Amino acid sequence: MKKIYIAGSGGMLGEAFYKQFKDSFQLKCTDIDVNESWLSYLDFRNYENYLLDVKDFAPDYLCHLGALTDLEYCELNPEEAIKTNTSSVEHAVKISNLLKTPILYISTAGIFNGKKQFYDDWDKPDPLCTYAKSKYDGEIFVQKNSKTHLICRAGWMMGGGPKKDKKFINKILTQIKNGAEELFIVNDKFGTPTYTHDFAKNVKLLIENECNGLYNMVCDGVTSRLEVTKELLSIIGLSNKINVVEVSSEYFKNEYFAKRPESERLINKRLNSENRNVMRDWKVSLKEYIDMYFSDYL
């Protein structure tokens, strides 16, 4: 059984990686937040500790998952964002090269400027905010310096359930749980949902087939924040009980002040061309996510 080291795996994506990989690989999963029995402590911003921990495990593959993903926090704390999202990636690449171990880096649809409706794997990024710049800088470093790498770009992430989902789906469900009868949803933001378990399955397929390079990896079907909300309400049977109020992003300008692209829609062009796309339609994945993680939540 091959060994995979997964750094920064205490969040929503790490949880999916653990569940999808644990039966096929020997894993070591680390994070600064040890919130699961299968996690051990590591701050990957410390190069020496990162190197020693990976070297001791001697993996066949190094997966670098963790990142600061709160755009407003990154905007207010740019040095920490760079340290976590860029410098730590440089650590991972150095370790990967030193140990001659392939590396996986997770990038994001947020690195584009949103001026196009759709972005494929070969479109040139143009990040708008500190978070996006720190992630794109990490992507560039991996491409230029890693001897053997896999870069997978995710879209609007959903997964992890109430305890780990800090993204859009859980924010909406939390409002509903707290008694909201109206939801104010932006009508000018477009993207592609990415279910963590689908993403982990597709990464696993690429690793098992020794694929290298850059891949867009999002669920099938393009959508908007508004459409996602309406589909979510339909799934939980509250379409006729919750009023959705359409607003522009200007409505939330004080709360969400970091610049965001209007469109973050990705196309899995390379996955499709290689017949390795196992990402399902976002509506199918969203329903599975709600049924699996939120059945007793509301």
DSSP string, 220-280: BS-EEHHHHHHHHHHHTT-TTTSEEEEE-GGGGTTTS-S---SEE-B--HHHHHTT---PP
The residue ranges of DSSP E strands in the chain, in sequence order, are 3-7, 26-31, 39-41, 61-64, 103-108, 149-154, 156-158, 182-186, 190-191, 193-195, 213-216, 223-224, 243-247, 263-264
* 138-162 pLDDT tens trace: 999 999 999 899 999 999 999 999 9
Closest by CA to 6, choosing from 52, 40, 49, is 40
133 φ, ψ (degrees, to nearest 5): -65, -40
In the three-class reduction of DSSP (H, G, I as helix; E, B as strand; rest coil), residue 154 is classed as strand
pLDDT tens string 242-253: 999 999 999 999
Q: Which residue has the tokens 């607003």?
A: 247
Find where tokens 């053997």 sit: 148
Q: Can you give the residue range of the structural domain that contains 96?
A: 3-165+192-222+264-281
Neighbours of 187 (CB within 10 A): 16
Residue 247 belongs to some domain of the structure: no
Is the pLDDT assigned to residue 298 strictly greater than 80?
no
| Mean model confidence pLDDT for the chain | 95
Q: Distance from CA of residue 54 to its chain's centroid?
A: 22
Give ∠ CA 192-161-3 in degrees, rounded to 5. Answer: 85
In-domain check, residue 91: yes
Question: Is position 135 within any domain?
Answer: yes
pLDDT by residue (tens digit) across 113-126?
999 999 999 999 99
Are the C-beta atoms of residues 127 and 113 closer than 8 Å to each other? yes
State the Cα–Cα distance between residues 213 and 171, nearest whole angstrom: 33
Residue 38 domain flag:
yes
Residue 44: CB partners within 8 Å, gap ≥ 6? 7, 8, 30, 50, 64, 66, 88, 91, 92
CATH number where 213 lies:
3.40.50.720
Q: Give residue-wise pLDDT tens across range 72-122.
A: 999 999 999 999 999 999 999 999 999 999 999 999 999 999 999 999 999
Please give the tally of structural domains in the chain.
1
Whether 244 is in a domain gets the answer no
The pLDDT score that the predictor gives to residue 1 is 87
In a domain? residue 148: yes
Instruction: Check residue 271 and give its pLDDT.
Output: 98
Per the CB < 8 A criterion, the answer to whether 19 and 76 are in contact is no
Q: What is the pTM of this model?
A: 0.95
Q: Is residue 196 part of a domain?
A: yes
Cα–Cα distance measured from residue 229 to residue 250, given in angstroms and rounded to the nearest whole number: 18
Per-residue pLDDT, averaged over 282-294, amounts to: 95
Residue 59's pLDDT is 98
* CA 268 to mean position of chain CA atoms: 15
Tell me if 162 sits within 8 A of 293, measured CB to CB.
Answer: yes
Q: Is residue 242 part of a domain?
A: no
